[in-house]
Amino acid sequence: MKPLSRHLRSLATSSVLAAVALAAPVASAQDVLVDKSEIRFVAKQLGVNVDGRFRKWKANVVFLPADLAKSKAEFDIDLASIDLASEDSEREIRGAPWFDTAKFPVAHFSSTSIKDLGGDKYEIAGALTLKGVKRDVVVPVTVKKDAAGNRVAEGSFTLMRLDFNIGTGMWSDTKTVTNDVVVRVRIVLPPAT
């Protein structure tokens, strides 16, 4: 346990940093409620759904329905923070045939455009960089309000793991682990101010 004073000091530091960030001339990032948000994925292993998630990631999201041109979504995902079936499989997936987190610790997504599809539906196009490979992806998203007035954005897309050289060698057989991996993102933003 950190002493309270240290907590307060780090809180003060982050407030200062937040204030500096807010003072920047670009549209301000809205703090994602990380505890309520999640980045999960599902792959099929021998025909069976296996699900996991990332414990650590950072998001920089600006969502202005009235001004989508100024809106953006950026994610940095700490690949080593993966939560899988067991410590054994987590160790395996950090290794060279899979994510190779020693060389490529972070996956990055950066939106290039956000389209309003009407109602509560949007489409986010962007680039995903994973294991040194950059690919365009399109993520359909719905944005709804929860009971507390938070804005909840949910979207999913399918990526082909072999496009990013994930699961090579003996793991490249898609009969063992399917090529398509469904990524599900749920981002909760505080009420619009």
Query: Residues interacting with other proteins, by CB under 8 A?
Result: 45-52, 84-86, 88-89, 92, 170-171, 173, 176
**105, 79 contact by CB (below 8 A):** yes
Q: Which residue has the tokens 């080593």?
A: 80
Comparing CB distances to other proteins, the nearer of 93 and 124 is 93
Q: How far is the CB of 34 from other proteins (least distance, A)?
A: 19
Nearest residue to 137 (alpha-carbon basis) of 160, 117, 121 = 160
Comparing CB distances to other proteins, the nearer of 1 and 170 is 170
Comparing CB distances to other proteins, the nearer of 35 and 88 is 88
Q: How far is the CB of 9 from other proteins (least distance, A)?
A: 32
Q: How far is the CB of 52 from other proteins (least distance, A)?
A: 6
Cα(174)–Cα(45) distance, integer angstroms = 9
What is the C-alpha R_g of the chain? Answer: 18
Element of type H or E holding 92: helix 87-94
